Amino acid sequence: MSQPLLKDYAVNYIMYSRIHMIARIIIGVIILAVGALMVIKTESFLKIFGRVQWAEVKLGGGSRLFYKLLGIVGILIGFLVITNMWQMPIIWIFGPLFGQR
């Protein structure tokens, strides 16, 4: 009797893993696409969201450069999500706040 339960568990685990992988890839592609749009269509984002005062003062390129940099960060995060490598940068950035080393 234990063998069918083990078989069902293995099938469920494999299906969950595949669904999880597909969902991760879809989410990563969406993040990547939004980042690419921010880089390509910077002027549209500038019209929709307006100027960023901090970027106008601190960055030489102003708000346009800020939106492009934000898009590049989005592209990098999208690739990290697609390849399932996003945990380590999160732990590296936020680990000291929560006592992780």
Instruction: Check whether 79 has a pLDDT greater than 80.
Output: yes
Give, in degrees to the nearest 5, the angle at Cα 45 between 42 and 65: 45
- The pTM assigned to this predicted structure is 0.75
* pLDDT score recorded for residue 73: 96
CA distances from 72 to 42, 76, 88 (A): 12, 6, 19
Instruction: Check whether 77 has a pLDDT greater than 70.
Output: yes
